[in-house]
Structure 1
Amino acid sequence: MSRPRVAVFRPDDGRIDDAADLLDSLGAEPVPDPMLTIEPTGETPPDADFVVLTSATGVEILADAGWTPGNAVLCCIGSSTAEAAEAAGWTVGRVPDQYDSAGMVAELGDEVSGKSVALARSDRASATMPEGLREAGADVTETTLYRLERPADGGESAELAARGELDGAAFTSSSTVEGFLAAAAERGIREDAIAGLEDAVVGAIAESPAETAEEAGIAVDVVPETADFAALARAVVERAKRCG
């Protein structure tokens, strides 16, 4: 049996190479197609009672800048974010069971009335968390740690999908779904690329990117129980092998 060809869309900051290596070790032919580049803003969050970080990228940017959480309760979305924070020497106080903005609102909602909460995220972050925390009575500030840009040369995966030559796709954020669709649209193959994914195993790391894909007409086959790339990669490759 030939190795399934699986596209991966991690940012082009070293993670795309690690992701491709993982797919290769799982017996897949990786198609690394970075849909995002990271542009740090140089900003850091202010002092607050609670600081919320949403990605390992944000942790790494702050650690490189010499920032520390001080006396704040550090809250992380996702195990990879928490692990990165702990590796930086910080104490993590909260990791919600649900790895998204709504999960963090549910985790902190009963504790933040009259408290200050600093959100430190990308420029593409949703309004769900600040709105929910403000409704819970928190004084919320938002800091843009980095901007996400789409590389001009991305889109190989869209071309393969449009030709029916892709066996799997592993989306790690709503931004990667949107980047895939934008790259396909620029090539005039958006509908063909979406149709091509019908015969591939489509995985999303969490419910948010899954919903973005579904809204665009992309059927999602796999969402791992844990919002972790390794779990996503294993699930997509294993299913692609069975389908092949």
Structure 2
Amino acid sequence: MTPGPLEGVRVGVTADRRADDQIDLLHRRGATTLHGPTMRIVPLADDAELAATTRALLDAPPAVVVATTGQGFRGWLEVADEWGLGERLRAVLGDAALLARGPKARGAIRGAGLREVWAAEATESSPEVLEHLLAGGEGPLAGRRIAVQLHGDPMTGFLAALREAGADVVEVHVYRWEPPPDLPAVDALIDAIVGRDVDVVTFTSAPAVEGLLQRAETLGRDEDLVAALRGGPGGSGVLACAVGPVTAAPLDRRDVPSIAPDRFRLGAMVRRLEEHVAGTPRP
């Protein structure tokens, strides 16, 4: 049989959601995997925090709403329907100035029968949205309520800049991330990264990166972990492979190099890894 493009490559997988799909995809290409989910996603319908935030926005509607991802925006509306709040939420969103962070968010807005007043030209461009708001694109920010639908990246700098401008910012976390369900599995993954017993570690969300770093810090191994990850690509360390720039942001903040595809999809991430492996001399 012809060896797969990832034959002999050892991959650490940090994902919780769709982990089985990713592992199957990697195995079919010849890789071996070590799974250590570094966080757990709370299903939307079970998220009491999101329900409370949604009701608060219905009682005190925002002037501006920023939709950051299509999947997250759709999920918010779908779960609001389950709670019996969908009609009221759509009315509130329809009265607000809806901003889209990119084409996917814009498509989700229009798919819900709503209309954005402005959309970023670049794909998933938080800086472009922030520049628009701070430049007065939707009027003065001081004292105005702005709801930001978050998905993955906490967007700390984005939110801080709006608050510094005087806005009343409401964070809408469409998924809530909890500590990992299986700490021994995460610890084993950290051992493997530090010991260079895996060649690559994959990340499909920013919280997955944060979860790995936080657990390593708890164990007193964060410096060793970061040192191992800083060794790649092209070095003797472990390569970080992210699904996109939003996911890679916590790595960037720690000066950890990474590779990512142009399209933010699981299959595209695996293909990007294949391209990297094909272009790297192997022992």
TM class by smaller structure: 0.7 to 0.9
The 5-angstrom pairing of residues 149-188 of structure 1 reads: 149-154=178-183, 155=186, 156-188=188-220
Q: TM-score of the superposition, structure 2-length normalised?
A: 0.66
Greater helix proportion? 2
Within 5 Å, give how 1:58-207 maps onto structure 2.
59-66=74-81, 67=86, 68=90, 69-77=93-101, 85=108, 89-91=112-114, 93=116, 94-97=119-122, 99-108=124-133, 109-114=135-140, 117-121=146-150, 125-133=154-162, 139-145=167-173, 146-154=175-183, 155=186, 156-197=188-229, 198=231, 199-207=237-245
For 2:9, which of 4, 18, 21 is the aligned residue? 4
Question: Residue 91 and residue 144 in structure 1: after superposition, are their counterparts in 2 closer, same or farther (change >3 A)?
Answer: closer
For the Cα contact (< 8 Å) 1:112–1:133, is it kept in 2? no
Supply the AA of the counterpart residue of 2:260.
V
Residue 169 of structure 1, CA deviation: 1.9
Amino acid at match of 2:191: E
**Residues 37/28 of structure 1: CA separation in 2 closer, same or farther (3 Å cut):** same
- What amino acid is aligned across from residue 155 of structure 2 in structure 1? S
Aligned to 2:273: 236
Tell me, yes or no, if the aligned pair for 2:94 and 2:115 is still in contact at 8 Å. no
Tell me whether 1:52 sits opposite 2:66 in the alignment: yes
Which sections of structure 2, spanning at least 5 residues, go unmatched? 232-236
In the alignment, residue 21 of structure 2 is paired with which amino acid?
D
In the TM superposition, what whole-angstrom CA distance separates every residue of 1:181-234 from its partner, at most 9, and x where no partner exists? 22334445434433433223222344455453244353x131333444443332
Supply the distance in 1 between the matched residues of 2:276 and 2:110 (Cα, whole angstroms).
33
Q: What corresponds to 2:234 in structure 1?
A: none
- 2:8 and 2:100 map into 1 onto residues whose CA distance is 36
Distance between the aligned counterparts of 1:132 and 1:182, measured in 2? 25
Deviation per residue, 1:18-37 (Å, 9 max, x gap): 33344345553344432222
Distance apart, 1:142 and its partner CA: 0.6
* Cα 1:144–1:167 shift into 2, 3 Å: same
Q: Given the superposition, is the C-alpha separation of residues 223 and 118 from structure 1 closer, same or farther in structure 2, using an over 3 Å criterion?
A: same
The aligned residue for residue 221 of structure 1 is 258
Task: Classify 1:236/1:141 alpha carbon distance in 2 versus 1 (closer, same or farther; 3 Å).
Answer: same
3-state SS of paired residue (2:94): coil
Using the TM superposition, name which of 157-166 and 1-10 deviates more: 1-10
d(CA) in 2 for partners of 1:183 and 1:173?
16
- The aligned counterpart of 1:16 is 19
Q: CA RMSD for the aligned pairs? A: 3.6
Deviations 1:46-98 (A, max 9, x none): 43443223343464144212233334454344566556x36963546325515
Change (3 A) 1:133 1:169: same
- The percent identity for this pair of structures is 24
Runs of 5+ unmatched residues, structure 1: none
- Rg (Cα) greater in structure: 2
| Alignment length (residue pairs) | 239
